Structure 1
Amino acid sequence: MNPVAPAAPMHESIADTVLCDAERCAGMEPGRSVSAAALYRTGKHGRGTNTQLPIPQNLQLADIDADGFSDFVQFSSNKLFVSKTDFNKTGILHLYANRPIKRVLLGDFSGGGSDQTCTITDDNALACYGVSPDRRELWWWFTQGSFLGDNEDAIVADFDNDGRDDVLVYPRGGGAYRMYSIKGSYFFNPTPSFNAGNLGTAASGLQLRAGDFNGDGRDDLMIINGYRQVIYYVSVWDGTYHTFWWAFSSASGFVGVDDQVTVARIDDNASDDFVLRNKVTGSTRFHRMDYNGGYPPAITYPGLGQISAAGNSQIFWGYMHGSLSEPGAYWRDDAMVYEQGWNGFARADARWDGSQLTYWWTYNQYAPNNHTGWASFSAKPWLLLKCKFSDIATTPQTDQFYRDLMYSALVPYWREVSYGSWDLSGSTVKDGWYTMSITNAAWSQSTVSRWDRVGYCMNAYGGSTAGYVNVIGLVNGEGDAGNHGGRVLATPNSSNSTFLAHETGHTFGWWDHSFDDTTRKNSDWSAPGEYFDYWDIMSAMAVYGFSHPQGVLAGPEMNAPYRTKQSFIPAHRQTRLVPATSYQTWRSNIAALNRPEANGPLMVRIGNDDANYYTIEYRMPSGWDQGIPRATVLVHRVTNGISVLITANGGPERLVGSTSSYPLGGRTFSVTVNAFAGAGYTADVSVTY
């Protein structure tokens, strides 16, 4: 699939071949074709998911884009966002799952050198994805039933030394350990020849951590029990089983009551160490996994350096400092202290100060906050009927064409426009054609309303329409097409994604079209400026579209002010600028409207009057917007809820280097476009207001 084409529905493969049985489907194996994986340092030792050790705000750290650096992974309902761990939280990609997500498992399950993403949704489906070759999308890998219960925890690591991460599962309340692995190209199955060995049966309340504590290349386990002991189990192949052998137990009380236990490479070697941080006081201790008479020895070199000592905090570890030519850069992990008082990270990188190993403070920055505020996940199913006139026997397209029109076009289109919140996948497309009791000529008479024209198709169908948003009636002859009362009518020539997205948009509540500020008219019956926002679906068919892989017109997306009508853009992703007595200047990055993983507001609003204000948005030619000519900033004026694209003063495209002025409330404000980012999907914009 062309990586810039709109994503296929998640139940369909992005690869050329789909392998399915009764319960599982698979697409393309990820990772191995991603050349960027070669950037990995040999000493990199990734850490997969530990469901006992979540970062607040639904965050995890993993290398999703195969560049060798840890990324932020965050989810909310069915939405998953990935951004870099740099100061700007540069956006990488997003994913909208079919259903709300319960768990996310991250690890190098393919052995390709980067981490894959597996979501467990509320229907207990486990779907796994790998990064696309351009590292801007997650491509579906396979789907199967989940093996992880809601009352169970999981820890991801390479326990059997095959270069692929495994998943060790155990009940929180106690019970048997189970392990799952991918040994072929697809699907988790019970790990061959696994035996819990000295682990025995899990007791209630255990804490598990994974790490290669002896440097042999396979991950071991440490367990903290109710006596606050560290119990070390070495993972081995005993000639018959992949199993765990008990190595030692520390003295009771070695782990403090308020201690958070994490695993990291502290000193400059191939063995993992463990870290005890008091979550209340911020006191942090490094330890080596040695018995030492029941008291694993402290690591005093390197010291804490500039790692944050703030109280009410937790510490997490990743690899962010890059391939530096200095001692320690090859092995050591970097610290991310999450300070809960302000929901931000204090990052400190493992560095060499010229004479010794240490940690240097890198930044303090708010944590990504896409974990909340989005519109709720809602089912929006449609009923699509195909009907013949009594005097026309031909069928314009195959049944598969119309199934694709729904499931490969309308379903993913509204999923993207709504930022994953609206789910049309429960729609029904009736195969076959129903014959109406009316000729094309009689149906076309002005005395027959559009409502009744769809009604003839519904009557020919004769079945129930309950439970659907409404009906799309497709007929096999030309004539009227559009929307009346929420019913959508389409003909062979209007059976495309753009037209149907526009008309279903009316039913969803956007009864107003979009406009520009000119006096030109699209048709004799249209108002001045109506249908001339080429970047907005509610101006269809006068829009910038593209040829969908199905061969029909598709796109564009919806503009920012109209998205806010259905609360698609959360309040925390909008910036409101209210003019005061004196002029002031605001400068920031604006996220591309179809890239919510980007750092910055998705919409900037100027003005405090809900009946009269301006908006600023950034559009990029990708996904459902791939038909627009170029990246551009757009300015709209919203009057009584109607969106008007501003073309005056050099518009409508506001490109880099432009400054435009606009009247508002007896004064003017100006918008300057400073730059478009080369990575991260943002525009640098200044507003003087």
Structure 2
Amino acid sequence: MPDFDRKHALISIADVDYAWLRDILVALHGGAPSNWAILCVCFKDDPVSLPPLDHYRKLFTSEGAGTMNMVEFFRDMSHGQIDVGASKVFGWYRLDRPRSDYVGNVYPQPDGKLNRNGLLDAGKAAATAAKVDLSKFDGVVVSGYGGTDLCGWLGGMAALCDANSLQPSLLGQEMGHGYGLDHARLNGSTADYQDPWDVMSTAAWPDRQAPNTDYVSIGPGLNAACMRSRGWLDETRVWSGPYAGFDSVITLRPLHHRQLSGYLAAEVGPYLVELRVRDRWDAAIPRAAVLVHRFSDNHSYLMPASSGSEDLGEGEQFESGSADHVFRPHVLVKVLDIDEGGRTARVRIGWRPQQFPPNYEIVGHLIGAVAIDGGGGIIVNGKFIPVPPRGPEYQLLSALSNALSSDITASVSAGTSYKRDLLRQVVKSALQMQAELAEVTHSPPRRDTPQRRNREH
């Protein structure tokens, strides 16, 4: 691994334009539009007379324009990057299996039964037999008649739902899993469903779901950290100061109101700061508030205020580190005032990066044949990190090393282009590693059906 100047490398990464990252992530998920096939299925012993599909088309496609449906949800949560309006609804397809054959979240699949993978495959097979070309769609939702199941495949662009879950509050999470989003958490815990202000925790917090006459419940929205992780956050609307540090007062607009001018989020060290107000997707939150999140291990983490409150109202602040420890990072986010009617919040934000004493250096030593893609490991500050041969971990390490060590001074434009190319390699390798870990999510809490009770008790 080449040697590199730590300070120069960190500043270089912080100054990179994120537009290319959004383009890569959106492209990997089918781009915009990102269309889903909604396959409505029933078991062979379900009623002969089944409901019309008008409601499904209203919920999932552009036929429901202006009703806070899934098209509007993904449009708002992606800052316009994702358009699912051309999704199509198919069915009903009657499966040649009785409802008693469905066992839900049971793996491996018992002989003669259907688990979640089996039901997904059966729905796809039924649609294919009916001459539906699923290759024209980026994702598939199999929607069962009555109470069946609810889940999503992490990064797999697939979901199950039923008559009890035809709600943007629930579908936003399960279809969101398809794009790679995982459950939202609270800082200091690895438990899921711990962020009441985020759709990736819905069902655990029914009081944060706003009633809706068309779809039972909608919201809440998606936080800025989750949006950035998918390349959906409009980085041109994110305030960011110099990496060397700052202490500034800025004005924020509500995160999902991109029609308003101004900043929709702010970057303060490893955190993103956002304003949420009580309307549209967030109509059921208890008050207009500023939220702070970080992102790690494919989860967003909500950062509580110094007072212990999980959201920040006027006069409240979030602080990480101490201003008195001059060699350690320090973050301050203080809410000066919130004008909910005017859709603004004034926030003081401060950032001081870690400072290293003189003569401090980060030292990395390669072990084994990593340098020639033969496997081995790297020691960073005394800690051994294994690197398997020829895998995405090697590619990631190599690309990251090149990105950190790049020092292009011939021209600004050439240097920026070169760094973008290197960081594209980093992102692609990281996404490859993430895709290999895709899994089926469990059903959200507080959503109980007879089938689920039978499986879990």
TM-score by length of 2: 0.60
1:476 offset after TM fit, Å?
1.4
1:654 offset after TM fit, Å?
0.2
What are the Cα deviations for residues 389-415 of structure 1, in whole angstroms up to 9, with x where unaligned?
112226675422212221331111111
Which residue among 590, 612, 618 is the counterpart of 2:275? 618
Question: Is residue 135 of structure 2 the alignment partner of residue 470 of structure 1?
Answer: no
SS in 1 for 2:262: coil
Query: In the alignment, is the contact (CA less than 8 A) between 2:36 and 2:139 conserved in 1?
Result: yes
Query: In the alignment, is the contact (CA less than 8 A) between 2:79 and 2:234 conserved in 1?
Result: no
| Map 1:147-546 → 2, pairs under 5 A | 378-393=32-47, 397-407=51-61, 408=64, 409-430=69-90, 432-444=91-103, 446=106, 447=109, 448-461=114-127, 462=129, 463-484=132-153, 485-510=156-181, 512-517=182-187, 519=189, 528-543=190-205, 544-546=208-210
What CA distance in whole angstroms lies between the structure 2 residues aligned with 1:423 and 1:600? 23
Q: Which moved more, 1:666-675 or 1:435-444?
A: 666-675
What are the Cα deviations for residues 238-276 of structure 1, in whole angstroms up to 9, with x where unaligned?
xxxxxxxxxxxxxxxxxxxxxxxxxxxxxxxxxxxxxxx
1:493 offset after TM fit, Å?
1.6
RCO comparison, higher one (Cα < 8 Å, 6+): 2
What are the Cα deviations for residues 544-602 of structure 1, in whole angstroms up to 9, with x where unaligned?
2112231422111110011112333333211234664xx74210101210112334322
The amino acid across from 1:639 in the alignment is S
Question: Is residue 324 of structure 2 the alignment partner of residue 654 of structure 1?
Answer: no
What CA distance in whole angstroms lies between the structure 2 residues aligned with 1:424 and 1:599? 25
Query: In the alignment, is the contact (CA less than 8 A) between 1:588 and 1:686 conserved in 2?
Result: yes
1:378 offset after TM fit, Å?
1.4
The amino acid across from 1:647 in the alignment is P
Residue aligning to 2:227: 563
What CA distance in whole angstroms lies between the structure 2 residues aligned with 1:549 and 1:571? 34
Which residue among 332, 335, 339 is the counterpart of 1:670? 332
What CA distance in whole angstroms lies between the structure 2 residues aligned with 1:394 and 1:557? 38
What CA distance in whole angstroms lies between the structure 1 residues aligned with 2:320 and 2:243? 13
The amino acid across from 1:433 in the alignment is W
What CA distance in whole angstroms lies between the structure 2 residues aligned with 1:394 and 1:647? 52
The amino acid across from 2:210 in the alignment is F
1:454 offset after TM fit, Å?
1.4
With over 3 angstroms needed to count, the CA separation of the structure-2 counterparts of 1:395 and 1:552, relative to structure 1, is: farther
With over 3 angstroms needed to count, the CA separation of the structure-2 counterparts of 1:621 and 1:679, relative to structure 1, is: closer
What are the Cα deviations for residues 627-674 of structure 1, in whole angstroms up to 9, with x where unaligned?
222210001122344310013523211001213322388343222111
Query: In the alignment, is the contact (CA less than 8 A) between 2:226 and 2:295 conserved in 1?
Result: no
What are the Cα deviations for residues 109-143 of structure 1, in whole angstroms up to 9, with x where unaligned?
xxxxxxxxxxxxxxxxxxxxxxxxxxxxxxxxxxx
What CA distance in whole angstroms lies between the structure 2 residues aligned with 1:579 and 1:486? 36
With over 3 angstroms needed to count, the CA separation of the structure-2 counterparts of 1:433 and 1:562, relative to structure 1, is: same
Question: Is residue 212 of structure 2 the alignment partner of residue 548 of structure 1?
Answer: yes
Aligned residues: 301
Query: In the alignment, is the contact (CA less than 8 A) between 1:394 and 1:476 conserved in 2?
Result: no
With over 3 angstroms needed to count, the CA separation of the structure-2 counterparts of 1:453 and 1:603, relative to structure 1, is: same
Query: In the alignment, is the contact (CA less than 8 A) between 1:637 and 1:643 conserved in 2?
Result: yes
Query: In the alignment, is the contact (CA less than 8 A) between 1:588 and 1:600 conserved in 2?
Result: no
SS in 1 for 2:200: helix
What CA distance in whole angstroms lies between the structure 2 residues aligned with 1:465 and 1:675? 50
Gaps of 5+ in 1: 1-372, 520-527, 608-612
1:492 offset after TM fit, Å?
1.9
With over 3 angstroms needed to count, the CA separation of the structure-2 counterparts of 1:662 and 1:626, relative to structure 1, is: same
Query: In the alignment, is the contact (CA less than 8 A) between 1:389 and 1:477 conserved in 2?
Result: no
Residue aligning to 1:237: none
Residue aligning to 1:606: 268
What CA distance in whole angstroms lies between the structure 2 residues aligned with 1:648 and 1:584? 20
The amino acid across from 1:656 in the alignment is E
Q: Which moved more, 1:629-638 or 1:475-484?
A: 475-484
With over 3 angstroms needed to count, the CA separation of the structure-2 counterparts of 1:627 and 1:396, relative to structure 1, is: farther
What CA distance in whole angstroms lies between the structure 1 residues aligned with 2:251 and 2:293? 18
Higher helix fraction (1 or 2): 2
Query: In the alignment, is the contact (CA less than 8 A) between 1:389 and 1:436 conserved in 2?
Result: yes
What CA distance in whole angstroms lies between the structure 2 residues aligned with 1:444 and 1:471? 20
With over 3 angstroms needed to count, the CA separation of the structure-2 counterparts of 1:395 and 1:414, relative to structure 1, is: farther
What CA distance in whole angstroms lies between the structure 2 residues aligned with 1:576 and 1:398? 50
Residue aligning to 1:634: 291
The amino acid across from 2:158 in the alignment is R
The amino acid across from 1:500 in the alignment is L
SS in 2 for 1:547: strand
Gaps of 5+ in 2: 1-20, 352-457
The amino acid across from 1:459 in the alignment is A
The amino acid across from 2:168 in the alignment is S
The amino acid across from 1:632 in the alignment is A
1:478 offset after TM fit, Å?
2.8
SS in 1 for 2:272: strand
With over 3 angstroms needed to count, the CA separation of the structure-2 counterparts of 1:467 and 1:603, relative to structure 1, is: same
Q: Indicate the RMSD between aligned Cα atoms, in angstroms.
A: 2.7
The amino acid across from 2:95 in the alignment is M
What CA distance in whole angstroms lies between the structure 2 residues aligned with 1:481 and 1:471? 13
Query: In the alignment, is the contact (CA less than 8 A) between 1:440 and 1:477 conserved in 2?
Result: no
What CA distance in whole angstroms lies between the structure 2 residues aligned with 1:387 and 1:455? 12
**Higher gyration radius (CA):** 1
Query: In the alignment, is the contact (CA less than 8 A) between 2:197 and 2:221 conserved in 1?
Result: yes
Identity of aligned residues (%): 25
What CA distance in whole angstroms lies between the structure 2 residues aligned with 1:599 and 1:412? 20
Higher strand fraction (1 or 2): 1
What CA distance in whole angstroms lies between the structure 2 residues aligned with 1:418 and 1:589? 22
What CA distance in whole angstroms lies between the structure 2 residues aligned with 1:686 and 1:396? 56
